[in-house]
Amino acid sequence: MRLVFWVYLRVLAVVVYVQYIGSQFYDPTSEGLAEAVYRIIDPLMVLAMLIAVYFAYQRKRAVDSGPEGGVTREYLEANGTFYLGIALLAGLLWNWVGFQFADPATTHSWLWALIDITAPLLFFATSTQLIKSEE
């Protein structure tokens, strides 16, 4: 099952980056085509974010219960991915709910840009950890 999540997170990360950069070229005046594509991608991003937070929590719990004390690289990676995932999930849900069910003009474009840039990084980090923990 981890392999399926690995593929899903990797593919979605690439799709989000391509959409973010490509939308500047094929819809520069914001005529609505990019908005229609994001309406498809956003629920997939919410699911991927939930997967990333779940596995980051599992990793954080394993590191916290481990025999090593103090601040190690593994500790920083586990806590960083977990809390970054929580923050991005909150921002994604805040903007997505406002975009989907309220007026799309009331969403924050700076937050969308931040999510579209950092979420794929989180997806890649989580998928890499999924493969490492499988071995």
| pTM across the whole model | 0.88
pLDDT of 55 = 95
Q: How confident is the model at residue 25 (pLDDT cuts 50, 70, 90)?
A: confident
pLDDT of 98 = 77
pLDDT of 116 = 92
State pLDDT tens for residues 57-84. Answer: 999 999 988 787 778 888 999 999 999 9
Helices (H), the chain: 2-26, 33-64, 73-101, 109-134
pLDDT of 106 = 64
Report residue 97 as tokens: 């709910």
pLDDT of 71 = 82
Find, among 40, 115, 44, the residue nearest to 85 by Cα: 115
State pLDDT tens for residues 81-135. Answer: 999 999 999 999 988 887 777 766 666 788 888 999 999 999 999 999 998 887 5
State pLDDT tens for residues 36-53. Answer: 888 899 999 999 999 999
pLDDT of 38 = 87
Domain regions of the chain by residue span: 2-134
Find, among 106, 99, 116, 108, the residue nearest to 19 by Cα: 116
* CA distances in angstroms from 53 to 14, 29, 92, 106, 108, listed in the order given: 19, 35, 13, 27, 23
* CA distances in angstroms from 2 to 5, 30, 46, 89, 109, listed in the order given: 5, 37, 18, 21, 33
Using the CB atoms, write b or e for 12-27: b if 16+ within 10 Å. bbebbbebbeebeeee
Sign of CA dihedral 118, 119, 122, 123: negative
The better pLDDT of the pair 7, 72 is held by 7
Flag whether pLDDT at 15 surpasses 80: yes
